Amino acid sequence: MNKKSKVILLPCNSYREASVYEALKKGMELLDIREILPDKNEKILLKPNLLKKADPDRAVITHPAVVGMFARILREEGYGNMIAGDSCGTGNTSKVIAGTGMDAYLERYGVPAVDFSAGVKVRYPEGVQAKEFILAREAAESSCVISVCKMKTHALERITGAVKNSYGFVYGFHKAKGHTQYPSADSFARMLVDLNRLVNPRLYIMDGIVAMEGNGPGSGDPVPMNVILMSQDPVALDSVFCYLIDLDPRMVPTCYHGEKMGLGTWKKEEISILTPDGPVTMEEAKERFGKPDFRVDRRRVRYGIWERMAKALNIFQKKPYIDESLCIKCGVCVKSCPVPGKAVDFKNGRKKAPVYDYKKCIRCFCCQEMCPEKAIKVK
């Protein structure tokens, strides 16, 4: 009988330091931190979700209290060689965390916030979708990586959590380039699975105390989920997130391909959920901690001749559009578009909102992801 993937579900309804610390401390006891991190001298990289500079209350980034209290626990356990960083959507680590409180936490516990400084080509011949990556040097040189992700929706992959958070190990502009190399939700998901298998984070922690629903991952709405999830299996972790919001994990490309490619499992009979009060079934977890009205894309993808024709003709596809009443003409969408020649641009001048060329658009939704005013939606 195969060993089940263990997911720790920790109730936590506040970002108060004491509440977060107590929850994470219990989670590390249930997982046995000494078994996961046997060498207290190894170099550890803490990798939060730092999409862009934002108020932590907006649920765009991993909440500073979660990163800070986890760093505190590691310090108390005697781990002394830690750094924190991410390849952010805009800006760098120090700029994104400045003034959020995360910078103060990291300073308090002696964890340098590093700006990824260079890319290193790492070959991965066993990759299914990607045979090499340009990783941030700091990620490539760390012997242990811990992913501290955020519970959010995502326009391309439906949700972003543990598996998707690893994209921040890719260095700088190579992240944008990846969207043109792997333009579909499925190819992008398979690349992410390869990336997780290569980097092999030792532990995944998901901040779901306040999650993001709706127009995620950067323009959605905060919603209390009151949980922290922890696991060494990122697919199982993301799948528990899916079950809690009444979303079939098989509809999430990172979960579906993650299971097929051996990264982890989405199957509830292969997942063991532990809480501080003992084990619970998936059904019990949904009943106690679930939110069935969580706003996420639950539409099923159809595969047939009409769907293939529509895709080939570039019609009846999900696409981004700009709400001109909210647009401030800042140009972030234009700058973030990875398509050569730009699929969105100021074709009518800077005094008017940018315009899409849907024949060029690859539906990566980088523009929607990075818009600072929630002006770009997907329909």
Q: For residue 300, what pLDDT is reported?
A: 85
Extract the tokens encoding 28: 């590390």
The reported pLDDT for the residue numbered 168 is: 98
Span 285-314, average pLDDT? 78
Query: What phi-psi label fits residue 142: left (phi over 0), alpha (psi between -120 and 50 degrees) or beta?
Result: beta
pLDDT of residue 312: 55
Q: Which of 38, 120, 49, 56 is nearest to 84 (CA)?
A: 49
Quote the pTM value.
Answer: 0.95
The per-residue pLDDT for range 344-369, each reduced to its tens digit, is: 999 999 999 999 999 999 999 999 99
What is the pLDDT, as a whole number, of residue 1? 45
Using CA atoms, how far apart are residues 154 and 216, in angstroms rounded to an integer?
A: 5
> What's the mean pLDDT in 75-104?
96
For position 365, what pLDDT does the model report?
96
Does residue 270 surpass a pLDDT of 80?
yes
Please state, rounded to an integer, the average pLDDT across all residues of the chain: 95
Residue 209 banded pLDDT, cuts 50, 70, 90? very high
Weakest-pLDDT range from 27-31, 43-47, 65-69, 305-309: 305-309
Region 170-176: what's the mean pLDDT?
Answer: 94
pLDDT for residue 313 = 53
Q: What percent of the chain has pLDDT over 70?
A: 96
Using CA atoms, how far apart are residues 164 and 336, in angstroms rounded to an integer? 18
Average pLDDT over residues 297-326: 74
Please list, in sequence order, all residues whose beta carbon lies within 8 angstroms of the beta carbon of residue 239, skipping any fewer than 6 positions away: 249, 252, 255, 265, 266, 267, 268, 271
Residue 341 CB neighbours (<10 A) = 8
Q: What is the pLDDT at residue 108?
A: 98
